[in-house]
């Protein structure tokens, strides 16, 4: 039994809300994981191991600028566009012999490059990979073994920090202490800054390929295509697996221009998801990203890049805000999918605002949450779209099952109807053949037997007349039996069988039979009933010659012409009465022959030329009207052998 529609609809609604609640929890969990990763990455070792102050001076190319100043860590200096200066920071640290033997150095974050000298010896150098803004946080600098350069007592440290033109110089706290205490914090910061982004980018690439294949297979569902585009753009912007194509030497994060295209693809996805189809002006959404890309490729001055980047960030925020509003509008109309995605976008916007404020204040910690939030948003949307695709496939399967059941039912009904029709056709065919045989026996053999009985019962029976009717009855019976054989439409075989029976009788009557039957094409419409009609016409023509023509020779000709097959019976006897077939008293034999020819769809002509009387039957190659294929065996049998 099929479930009640109301009950099934309620069950489907309940299941949908369960999925909505599950996805809502997923968004919350992803947000908590992002915050947890930020807190984990920003945790610092024991504060007592940190260097509190450093003395720094600003250095410009080939010169020193200004006096040394005392800075409290962490610190960040603002820089002007085109500024290429860097800082050299010095501090002194006194260590015991045991502290120096097991000491390590950790700088959780810096911008953009750092070099470390201890007691005049360079021990480490690190530089951030800023090409694609991949990191959730800046990479740490870690020196696990300082024992080779440290000495008991006072040790001189020099930290040189530099940044790319137009970027602020930033230096986090410097921790010097036992390796066992610093290593866990280095691992946590490295996981947040390098491992997690790489895993997230790999997931984005896999999901982009999957949704791209779904869109290729189902091109009408464009939301999968836009989602695949957004994920692939995010992966291109943040994947270290994809080559730089020679752009790694540039001093600017060139791949970051993809953020605008990514935001535009996300906006198109949200529009399609909410039920809005792309309009004729949708291409205008690509104008701002295209303009930013063109300006960036043109290699403008640093001050122009400064404002272009801020305009790009504002455009991205505007696109995400528009996406959120579109989804919220659809959510108010009852679209649960739009509601869930809008919640994820709200989370993305909150974290984006936080990251913009962090950049604006030159925070040296550089722990960004936007990428965490956006990756979580994409994971949530991917899960949602996967569930949506699964639901669509389940509906397709259910529809296919219903269609299979209906097809099976219709097939069974058609099979039953076909069996009924076949049985009915077989019964009708048997009935038609039975009726034909009964007519043939009644009109031919029956008439002859009735004549025999009448002559036998007469006071003075004529044995010669009785014998003549008996021979006619025997001939008619042989014609009927012969017509039951299947000759495959070969008229030559049909007439050949008649010749074997008729030729001895013609010789006994003093007639010579001339046989001129050539090869003729098979007639597809020549069945048993049609063969009997042809034989009766030939037999009737020959009987007329024997009874009335006083001929010495009968010639049977069969040949093919462009219209079909011609059967002609010619004799050298006297001319018959010249009367049309329709005239009353013209003789039943000629009328029967014409009726049979009409049923065959053939033409019958009787004429005399060159001292011969000819009966010519022209059979068409195909049935015409109520001819061979349709009328035979169905019309009223009006004729009888005279």
Residue 623 has pLDDT above 80, yes or no: no
pLDDT of residue 157: 94
Provide the number of structural domains found in the chain. 3
The verdict on residue 407 lying in a domain is no
Same domain, 428 and 531: yes
User: Is residue 325 domain-resident?
Assistant: yes
Number of H helices, E strands in the chain: 15, 18
Mean pLDDT of 132-146: 69
Highest mean pLDDT pick, 35-49, 338-352, 414-428: 414-428
Q: Are residues 36 and 66 in the same domain?
A: no
Q: Is 93 in the same domain as 61?
A: yes
pLDDT confidence of residue 22? 62
Residue predicted with more confidence, 507 or 580: 507
CA 233, CA 201: separation in Å to the nearest integer?
Answer: 10
Would you say residue 638 lies in a domain?
no
Query: In this predicted structure, what is the pLDDT of residue 312?
Result: 84
The verdict on 212 and 293 lying in the same domain is yes
Whether 73 and 92 have beta carbons less than 8 Å apart is answered as no
In angstroms, the CA 8 to CA 618 distance is: 73
Instruction: Evaluate if residue 78 carries a pLDDT over 50.
Output: yes
Query: Is the confidence at residue 182, as pLDDT, over 70?
Result: yes
Across 536-552, average pLDDT: 83
Average pLDDT over residues 367-375: 67
Calculate mean pLDDT across residues 61-67.
Answer: 60
Residue finishing a domain among 189, 220, 238: 189
Residue 633 has pLDDT above 60, yes or no: no
Q: Which of 142, 165, 189 is the last residue of a domain?
A: 189
**How far apart (Å, rounded) are the C-alpha atoms in residues 586 and 522?**
34
d(CA 127, CA 113): 4
> Which of 155, 189, 223 finishes a domain?
189
Does some domain include residue 631?
Answer: no
Residues 369, 498 within the same domain: no
Q: Could you tell me if 589 and 485 lie in one domain?
A: yes
Residue 408 lies in a domain: no
Residue 131 has pLDDT above 60, yes or no: no
The β-bridge relationship of strands 553-561 and 512-517 is: parallel
Q: How does pLDDT run across 220-241, given as a tens digit for each residue?
A: 888 889 989 988 888 877 665 5
Q: In the prediction, which pLDDT does 406 show?
A: 92
Across-strand partners of 124? Answer: 116
Domain identity same for 224 and 333: yes
The pLDDT of residue 137 is above 90: no
Span of 233-242, 275-284, 377-386, 422-431 with lowest mean pLDDT = 233-242
Say whether both 445 and 561 belong to one domain. Answer: yes
Q: What is the per-residue pLDDT for 408?
A: 92
**How many other C-beta atoms are found inside a 10 Å radius of the C-beta of residue 615?**
23
Residues 209, 133: one domain? no
627 lies in some domain: no
Write the CB contacts of 546 (distance below 8 Å, at least 6 apart in sequence): 506, 509, 511
What is the average per-residue pLDDT within 40-46? 74
Asked if the model's pLDDT at residue 436 lies above 90, the reply is no
Residues 180 and 265 in one domain: no
Domain of 218 in residue numbering reads as 5-44+197-399
Q: Out of 207-216, 298-307, 531-540, 586-595, pick the least confident.
A: 586-595
User: Max alpha carbon distance in the chain (Å)?
Assistant: 168
Q: What are phi and psi of 152, to 5 degrees?
A: -60, 135
Asked if 615 and 606 touch (Cβ cutoff 8 Å), the reply is: yes
Q: Is the pLDDT of residue 579 over 60?
A: no
Q: Strand, helix or coil at 394?
A: helix
Q: Which helix (H) or strand (E) covers residue 620, if one does? A: strand 612-620
CA torsion, points 250, 164, 127, 74, in degrees to nearest 10?
-160
Q: What is the mean pLDDT of residues 117-134?
A: 71
% pLDDT > 70, the chain: 71
Q: What pLDDT score does 188 carry?
A: 84
Strand partners, 170: 76, 111
Residues 130-156 have a mean pLDDT of 75
> Residue 234 and residue 219: Cα distance in Å, rounded?
22
Within a domain: 571 = yes
∠ Cα 480 484 490 (to 5°): 110
**Phi/psi at 568 (nearest 5 deg)?**
-125, 135
Any domain includes 626: no
pLDDT confidence of residue 590? 79
Q: Residue 106: which residues within 8 A CB-CB, separation 6 or more?
A: 45, 140, 141, 142, 143, 174, 175, 176, 182, 185, 186
Mean pLDDT for the stretch of residues 599-623: 84
Domain CATH for 513 = 3.30.565.10
The verdict on 157 and 242 lying in the same domain is no
Q: What is the mean pLDDT of residues 536-541?
A: 84
Looking up residue 70, the CATH number of its domain turns out to be 2.60.120.260
What does the H/E/C string look like for 146-205?
CCCCCCCEEEEEEEEEECCCCCCEEECCEEEEEHHHHHHHHHHHHHHHHHHHHHHHHHHH
Flag whether pLDDT at 80 surpasses 90: no
Cβ–Cβ under 8 Å, residues 561 and 546:
no
Q: What is the pLDDT of residue 641?
A: 31
**Mean pLDDT for all residues in the chain:** 76
Q: State the pLDDT confidence band at 211, using cuts at 50, 70 and 90.
A: confident
Q: Of 534, 530, 571, 531, which is closest to residue 552 (Cα–Cα)? A: 571
Q: Is the pLDDT of residue 437 over 90?
A: no
Residue 99 has pLDDT above 70, yes or no: yes
Q: Over range 517-541, report the average pLDDT.
A: 81
The more confident residue out of 99 and 539 is 99
Residues 142, 53, single domain; the answer is: yes
pLDDT at res. 414: 92
* pLDDT of 164 above 80: no
């Amino acid at each position: 039994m099929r479930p009640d529609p109301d009950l099934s609809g309620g069950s489907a609604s309940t299941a949908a809300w369960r999925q909505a609640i599950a996805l809502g929890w997923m968004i919350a969990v992803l947000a908590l994981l992002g915050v947890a990763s930020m807190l984990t990455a920003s945790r610092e070792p024991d504060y007592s191991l940190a260097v509190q102050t450093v003395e720094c001076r600003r250095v410009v190319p080939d010169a020193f600028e200004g006096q040394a100043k005392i800075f409290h860590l962490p610190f960040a200096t603002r820089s002007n566009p085109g500024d290429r200066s860097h800082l050299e920071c010095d501090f002194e640290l006194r260590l015991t012999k045991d502290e120096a033997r097991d000491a390590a150095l950790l700088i959780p974050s810096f911008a953009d490059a750092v070099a470390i000298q201890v007691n005049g010896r360079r021990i480490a150098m690190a530089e951030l990979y800023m090409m694609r803004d991949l990191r959730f946080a800046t990479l740490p600098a870690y020196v696990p073994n300082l024992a080779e350069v440290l000495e008991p007592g006072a040790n001189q440290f020099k930290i040189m920090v530099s940044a790319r033109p137009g970027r602020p110089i930033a230096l986090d706290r410097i921790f010097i202490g036992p390796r066992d205490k610093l290593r866990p914090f280095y691992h946590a910061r490295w996981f947040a800054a390098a491992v997690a982004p790489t895993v997230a980018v790999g997931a984005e690439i896999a999901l982009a390929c999957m949704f791209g294949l779904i869109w290729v297979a189902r091109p009408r569902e464009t939301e999968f295509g836009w989602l695949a585009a957004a994920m692939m753009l995010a992966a291109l912007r943040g994947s270290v697996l994809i080559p730089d194509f020679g752009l790694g030497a540039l001093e600017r994060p060139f791949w970051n221009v993809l953020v605008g295209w990514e935001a535009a693809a996300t906006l198109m996805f949200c529009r399609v998801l909410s039920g809005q189809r792309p309009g004729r002006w949708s291409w205008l959404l690509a104008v701002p990203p295209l303009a930013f890309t063109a300006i960036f490729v043109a290699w403008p001055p640093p001050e122009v890049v400064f404002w272009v980047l801020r305009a790009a960030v504002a455009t991205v925020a505007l696109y995400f805000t528009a996406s959120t509003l579109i989804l919220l509008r659809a959510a108010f109309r009852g679209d649960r999918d739009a509601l869930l995605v809008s919640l994820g976008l709200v989370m993305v916007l909150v974290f984006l605002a936080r990251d913009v404020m962090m950049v604006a204040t030159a925070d040296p910690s550089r722990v960004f949450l936007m990428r965490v939030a956006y990756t979580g948003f994409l994971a949530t949307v991917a899960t949602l779209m996967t569930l949506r695709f699964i639901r669509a496939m389940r509906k397709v399967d259910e529809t296919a099952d219903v269609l299979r059941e209906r097809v099976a039912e219709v097939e069974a009904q058609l099979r039953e109807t076909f069996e009924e029709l076949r049985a009915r056709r077989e019964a009708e065919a048997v009935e038609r053949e039975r009726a034909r045989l009964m007519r043939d026996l009644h009109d031919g053999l029956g008439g002859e037997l009735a004549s025999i009985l009448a002559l036998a019962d007469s006071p003075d029976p004529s044995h010669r007349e009785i014998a003549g009717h008996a021979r006619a009855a025997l001939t008619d019976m042989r014609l009927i039996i012969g017509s039951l054989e299947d000759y495959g439409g070969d008229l030559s075989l049909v007439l050949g069988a008649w010749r074997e029976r008729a030729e001895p009788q013609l010789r006994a009557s003093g007639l010579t039979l001339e046989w001129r039957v050539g090869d003729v094409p098979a007639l597809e419409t020549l069945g048993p009933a049609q063969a009997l009609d042809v034989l009766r016409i030939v037999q009737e023509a020959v009987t007329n010659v024997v009874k009335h023509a006083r001929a010495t020779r009968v010639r049977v000709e069969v040949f093919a012409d462009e219209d079909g097959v011609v059967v002609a019976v010619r004799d050298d006897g006297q001319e018959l009465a010249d009367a049309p077939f329709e005239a009353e008293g013209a003789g039943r034999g000629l009328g029967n022959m014409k009726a049979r020819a009409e049923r065959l769809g053939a033409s019958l002509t009787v004429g005399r030329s060159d001292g011969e009387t000819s009966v010519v039957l022209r059979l068409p190659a195909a049935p015409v009207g109520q001819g061979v294929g349709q009328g035979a065996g169905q019309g009223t049998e009006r004729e009888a052998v005279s």
